[in-house]
Structure 1
Amino acid sequence: MATPISPPAEPAAPDFRDDLAADTRLLGDHVEACEKLTAGLPPRRERSAAQRETAARADAAARRARHLFLDLHSRRVHDELTDGGSRQVRLDELAFTAADRFPGLVPTRAQIAADRQLPQAEKSGGEIDQGIFFAHLLDRRDTGAHLLDSMLAPTTRALGLLPEFRRTGHVDLGQAVVRRDGCVAEVTICNPHVLNAEDDAVVEALETAVDLALLDDAVSVGVLRGAVLSHRRYSGRRAFGAGINLTDLYTGRIGFVDFMLRRETGYIRKLVHGLNVGSGHRLLDLPSGKPWVGAVETFAIGGATQVALVLDRVIAASDAYFSLPALTEGIVPGVANMRLGRVVGRRMAQRLIFFGEQVAADSPEALALCDEVVAPEAMDAAVAAAADRLSDPAVPANRRMMHLAEESDDLFRTYMSRYALEQSARMHRPDVVAKLERTWIHRRRPGAGARQADAQHRPDLS
């Protein structure tokens, strides 16, 4: 009878001593030892139960060490990466610089690039380690506030395009277009072949467009709407958005940092608070927020409903609907879990998130999600009237005070700390991949698209 092979021994936990340089070396050595346990294993889907258990134990051991290291050193790590908080560093740069300076703490740029070539089911899970990193930085009030303030700074791309926008009043960013008409800047989401769903490139384009609207002193009000669709079922109609591009998530093209974190701390938070140009004095660093009108046409699904929650005036076409099918996707719906209950009440929030309830714009329940419902042909006039009303100079100060009362910086920071842990882990859970795979396969069966759309309240993108 063959003697059972014992699984390889798990490396002993590092004995950190509160010395950053020495503990960095200990962390790197420990993570390297953990990685050796999985170095010879086959790809994830080909592993036996015993091999999966070995990999899970090695990953868990490395992650416990990262948590312990950051418990001791998150402030010093942040100071090292930002020159003592004197530099504003965006999320991606912060993560990749941390990988270079603190080996084993987070995946390197090359490791993330390699993961991006794999479907979600085959990824290494390195994004979970990025989640741990940002969770610890956000958990501290000082480092978290600096990180969030840094993400409210205008992007380099927007600053480069600002002279053109001021001169012409129009910039086409590919996945978004921003156009100024009088004092109103209209930002249009342009991903029509997938129903204006969001992906990494859309998030980047939207942040740039929002920055331009906020940077231009001639603009008093922003309008956010979706482009006219090219999809055969909705040809000629605008749609506010179909949420996250689930096909891209399944195929591994949605990034944790570039989508999940950047979206919430970048363009969506800028819609709420505006830009922070950083004068160096906390009381003078009031973000330059402007009011925003949302034009919800055809549907606002998932992430599009999340965006609608932060806008100052939401106009919906009478034939549109809202939905937030979080359980169908298996991931956390951004900051909706924090904001939705305040807007619609706890019970309705649970019906939307847990049960995928679809809310027609012309139903009584939709009054909690939008401010005005008009016939589709009356949308342009209603949006223009709302923008005119919100251009009053007293609006910015009043909306700043409302946001301060409703959603403090500390509340948002604390939520995002936990969100970083939860969402990075959810993206790599087997049930999420299984749900995406079932949807992916089902949509490729002849005639299945309409049934899938009806079942999930999400239009077929095939």
Structure 2
Amino acid sequence: MSTRSPEAAQLSGAVDSRLPAPPSFRGGAAADARLLSSYAEGCAEVLAALPPRADRSAAEHGDADRVERAARHARHRFLTLHAGHLYDELTEGRKHRIRLDELAFAAADAYPGLVPTRAQISADRKLPQAEKSDGEVDQGILFAHLLDGRETGEHLLRSMLAPTPRALDLLPEFRRSGRVDLGRAVVRRDGFVAEVTICNQDVLNAEDDAVVEALETAVDLALLDDAVSVGVLRGSVLSHPRYSGRRAFGAGINLTHLYTGQISFVDFMLRRELGYIRKLIHGLRHDPADDLLHPRGGKPWVGAIDTFAIGGATQVALVLDRVVAGSDAYFSLPALAEGIIPGAANLRLGRVVGRRMAERLIFFGEKVAATGPEARELCDEVVAPDAVDGAVAASAERLADPAVPANRRMLHLAEESDDLFRTYMSRYALEQSARMHSPDVVAKLERTWMNRRPGGASETARPGGAGKD
């Protein structure tokens, strides 16, 4: 039995009557694109007649949801038919490697109504998460289809393993001086080791769009420099009063930025996984044609876990070759605290710690002390806090052995094939884009924001806080 009021039912009926007829795609990409554009425009006009998102009644939210679902169903059907054609058109037959943001905005220009334009995304970035449009969900649909196709997905994954233009510009300076300060990260070469340090001290080294950009550039520089054999990843000394003078590996996603709408689906959620984290595993791809005879395969990485690795920081620890933790450190992955998906942790965590432990971490926010028996699968060595540097240096020395790269390539091939990762990320694109704009996520962010200390940026700063994902 329906629980809607007669007024809501009347309004819903009015909205339904204003919706254009769903397009009947007939298989020609150009003609179907015009049909989609016309239909999306009609749906947008119906939505524009409703009050702004923050002022809608429950019934009006329901009306908007139905209109958006209708438009998304049309986009899904269009991409089911034409995702391969679209990708080949935008990459000129896969001759060019296009990064995620460029691809999304190129698709918006070439196929109006399919995904938000650059101007629409820029306008959204000025709004808190609760007031944003759901345009990023349409980006999720696009990338879900592109990653789902084996040929388009593999090409996109390879494209994201290319070094960033910023890294290529900075490479001569890094080779000359051995140090580059990227603001939110610093990369420094010491002998054969490149140390990448996350520098977001006032928010406990939490990650946001700027941190992801800086980390990918820093990782690229370490991988591009032939003088570097091993990378080290760690967090900087914090400025937060509770942890002043102490290092921390990281506190996960920056909840302040997520609440205020500054965490992007493409430049954070997708770029993080397909960019610097995957480069930590596989290294860079310069010329795919040479992969068989001259495999790159990346370089080994050591993680220095000081104080805590929360949420996204634990996600990163899962892909490192050696993890050294201070005896006062802990790991946690409290995904349900924010309601979003913890990146590719759902793909990797179970095989590392087992399914039951993975669920305790993700669903129940269980903390794992570095000295506890459960931590054996999350870190390789636990030492006194003042001995972390020495243990990291010893691990780097061991991993500099010339036989390591070939062996780690084979280990990664056995553990996580490109097909497995591509399939996971296809579904992740759909699920995460929807999660980011779900009412329960917004409600959790509101509660977190209201309970936080003024000027703070992490729940970890409060005793008993939920942490960051």
Partners of 1:382 and 1:84 in 2: CA distance? 48
**CA-CA distance at 1:281 after TM superposition:** 4.7
Superposition map of 1:374-413 within 5 A: 374-413=383-422
Partners of 2:463 and 2:344 in 1: CA distance? 26
- Asked if 1:33 is matched to 2:42, the reply is yes
Alignment-derived partner of residue 241 in structure 2: 232
Partners of 1:452 and 1:299 in 2: CA distance? 12
- Asked if 1:44 is matched to 2:44, the reply is no
Superposition map of 1:148-187 within 5 A: 148-187=157-196
Superposition map of 1:62-81 within 5 A: 62-81=71-90
Checking the alignment, whether the CA contact within 8 Å between 1:177 and 1:187 is kept in structure 2 is: yes
In structure 2, the residue corresponding to 1:295 is in which secondary structure? strand
Q: Which runs of 5+ in 1 are unaligned?
A: none
Query: In the superposition, relative to structure 1, how do residues 98 and 159 fare at CA in structure 2: closer, same or farther (>3 Å)?
Result: same
In structure 1, the residue corresponding to 2:97 is in which secondary structure? coil
The one of 214, 220, 227 aligned to 1:211: 220
- Asked if 1:107 is matched to 2:101, the reply is no
The one of 275, 289, 306 aligned to 2:298: 289
The one of 242, 247, 256 aligned to 1:247: 256
In structure 2, the residue corresponding to 1:171 is in which secondary structure? strand
Per-residue Cα deviation, 1:248-282 (whole angstroms, up to 9, x for no partner): 00100000000000000000000000000024355
Checking the alignment, whether the CA contact within 8 Å between 1:7 and 1:54 is kept in structure 2 is: no
Equivalences, count: 459
Partners of 1:83 and 1:399 in 2: CA distance? 34
Per-residue Cα deviation, 1:357-414 (whole angstroms, up to 9, x for no partner): 0000111111110000000010110000000000000000000000000000000000
Per-residue Cα deviation, 1:43-85 (whole angstroms, up to 9, x for no partner): 2121012211221111001100000000000100000010000
Partners of 2:124 and 2:182 in 1: CA distance? 27
The one of 368, 371, 378 aligned to 2:380: 371
Partners of 1:268 and 1:276 in 2: CA distance? 14
**CA-CA distance at 1:446 after TM superposition:** 11
Alignment-derived partner of residue 127 in structure 1: 136
In structure 2, the residue corresponding to 1:316 is in which secondary structure? strand
Q: Runs of 4 or more off by more than 4 Å in structure 1?
A: 1-5, 444-447, 449-452
Alignment-derived partner of residue 449 in structure 2: 440
Counterpart of 1:110, as a letter, is A
Per-residue Cα deviation, 1:7-39 (whole angstroms, up to 9, x for no partner): 222322100011011000000000001111111
Partners of 1:418 and 1:436 in 2: CA distance? 24
Query: In the superposition, relative to structure 1, how do residues 385 and 4 fare at CA in structure 2: closer, same or farther (>3 Å)?
Result: closer
Partners of 1:147 and 1:450 in 2: CA distance? 35
Query: In the superposition, relative to structure 1, how do residues 320 and 146 fare at CA in structure 2: closer, same or farther (>3 Å)?
Result: same
Query: In the superposition, relative to structure 1, how do residues 41 and 450 fare at CA in structure 2: closer, same or farther (>3 Å)?
Result: closer
With normalisation by structure 1, the TM-score equals: 0.96
Counterpart of 2:350, as a letter, is G
Checking the alignment, whether the CA contact within 8 Å between 2:460 and 2:466 is kept in structure 1 is: no
**CA-CA distance at 1:450 after TM superposition:** 7.9
Checking the alignment, whether the CA contact within 8 Å between 1:278 and 1:285 is kept in structure 2 is: no
Alignment-derived partner of residue 311 in structure 2: 302
**CA-CA distance at 1:444 after TM superposition:** 4.2
Alignment-derived partner of residue 357 in structure 2: 348
Partners of 1:450 and 1:413 in 2: CA distance? 33
Counterpart of 2:260, as a letter, is T
The one of 85, 93, 96 aligned to 2:105: 96
Checking the alignment, whether the CA contact within 8 Å between 1:277 and 1:285 is kept in structure 2 is: no
**CA-CA distance at 1:41 after TM superposition:** 1.9
Taking only the aligned residue pairs, the percentage that are identical comes to 73
Partners of 1:124 and 1:293 in 2: CA distance? 40
- Asked if 1:359 is matched to 2:368, the reply is yes
In structure 2, the residue corresponding to 1:7 is in which secondary structure? helix
Partners of 1:443 and 1:427 in 2: CA distance? 20
Superposition map of 1:303-318 within 5 A: 303-318=312-327
**CA-CA distance at 1:453 after TM superposition:** 3.4
Q: Which runs of 5+ in 2 are unaligned?
A: 1-5
The one of 184, 199, 203 aligned to 2:208: 199
Partners of 1:127 and 1:439 in 2: CA distance? 23
In structure 1, the residue corresponding to 2:289 is in which secondary structure? coil
Checking the alignment, whether the CA contact within 8 Å between 1:165 and 1:212 is kept in structure 2 is: yes
The one of 415, 424, 435 aligned to 2:433: 424
Counterpart of 1:7, as a letter, is A
Counterpart of 1:61, as a letter, is A
In structure 1, the residue corresponding to 2:180 is in which secondary structure? strand
Alignment-derived partner of residue 7 in structure 1: 14
Checking the alignment, whether the CA contact within 8 Å between 2:460 and 2:467 is kept in structure 1 is: no
Counterpart of 2:182, as a letter, is L
Checking the alignment, whether the CA contact within 8 Å between 1:358 and 1:457 is kept in structure 2 is: no
With normalisation by structure 2, the TM-score equals: 0.95
In structure 1, the residue corresponding to 2:233 is in which secondary structure? strand
Checking the alignment, whether the CA contact within 8 Å between 1:323 and 1:457 is kept in structure 2 is: no
Checking the alignment, whether the CA contact within 8 Å between 2:242 and 2:461 is kept in structure 1 is: no
Checking the alignment, whether the CA contact within 8 Å between 2:116 and 2:135 is kept in structure 1 is: yes
